[in-house]
């Protein structure tokens, strides 16, 4: 089914183009800001998917998102500019050939051990109109395999900065896995994260998609796109006075 084109204002087009961190004939990578939904939801506001009309060609074709990020997560998100690229990237995603790197600020100090792998299964739970993910036992009838590698980058008495590598792509996986360790992500009200840190409010979920590596759809060569850490996350980290682990 053909999409109905969306007419964007000049400032919206300029804003969309300001988010570009990589572009070639097949791939478009954007640095998604926190607070912008990847695709349509309950909030009636421009989504990143809407903003892709800023890149529409004269034939009406436009890039298509390959994956999604939660509304309050910032960082790298990939779009395909052609149908063959979309097919190739979709296959790479399904085959787990995309390597994602996230950075998170968590409460509770460094996990123990400071580097490791979380293999706690997750299950979906419907609460009213919202879907939650819950850690569960492997033999639960709704259990889904979920795997996350983590490494402590810096830590203090009540918080830590972690590098995260999800090996599976379950909804809210990083958020629930870290909460299951007693290290919920700062600003994550849904899963128990503190809403204040370092004597001030945490502005949003402190989770950023730092890098994405993937086989380029043109010839399969390894490609990596990175998004710098955003100012709000850097400001919270600075307030927490975190230092590298010994």
Q: Which of 24, 50, 70, 119 is catalytic?
A: 70
- Cα separation, 10 vs 12, in Å, equals 5
Q: Which two tokens stand for residue 49?
A: 């998917």
User: Quick count: other Cβ atoms within 10 Å of Cβ 202?
Assistant: 23
- Cα separation, 97 vs 83, in Å, equals 19
Q: Is 119 a catalytic residue?
A: no
Nearest to 65 by CA among 52, 84, 46: 52
- C-beta separation of 59 from 5 below 8 A: no
Distances (CA, A) of 45 to 62, 106, 130, 176, 236: 20, 29, 19, 27, 27
Residue 223, burial from CB neighbour count under 10 angstroms (0-12, 13-18, 19+): middle
Active site residues: 70
């Amino acid at each position: 089914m053909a999409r109905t084109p969306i007419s964007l204002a000049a400032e919206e087009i300029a804003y969309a183009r300001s988010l570009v961190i990589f572009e070639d004939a097949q791939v478009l990578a954007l640095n998604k800001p926190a607070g912008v939904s990847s695709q349509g939801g309950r909030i009636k506001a421009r989504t990143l998917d809407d903003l892709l009309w800023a890149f529409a060609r004269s034939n009406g074709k436009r890039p298509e998102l390959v994956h999604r990020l939660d509304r309050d997560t910032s960082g790298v998100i990939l779009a395909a500019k052609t149908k063959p690229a979309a097919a190739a990237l979709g296959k790479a995603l399904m085959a787990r050939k995309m390597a994602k790197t996230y950075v998170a600020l968590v409460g509770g100090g460094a996990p123990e051990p400071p580097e490791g792998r979380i293999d706690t299964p997750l299950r979906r739970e419907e609460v009213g109109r919202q879907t939650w993910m819950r850690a569960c036992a492997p033999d639960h009838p709704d259990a889904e395999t979920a795997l996350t590698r983590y490494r402590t980058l810096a830590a203090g008495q009540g918080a830590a900065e972690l590098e995260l590598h999800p090996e599976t792509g379950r909804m809210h996986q990083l958020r629930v896995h870290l909460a299951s360790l007693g290290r919920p992500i700062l600003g994550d009200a849904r899963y128990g994260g503190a809403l204040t840190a370092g004597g001030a409010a945490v502005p949003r979920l402190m989770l950023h998609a730092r890098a994405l590596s993937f086989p380029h759809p043109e010839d399969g060569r390894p490609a990596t796109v990175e998004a710098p850490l955003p100012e709000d996350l850097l400001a919270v980290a600075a307030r927490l006075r975190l230092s590298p682990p010994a």
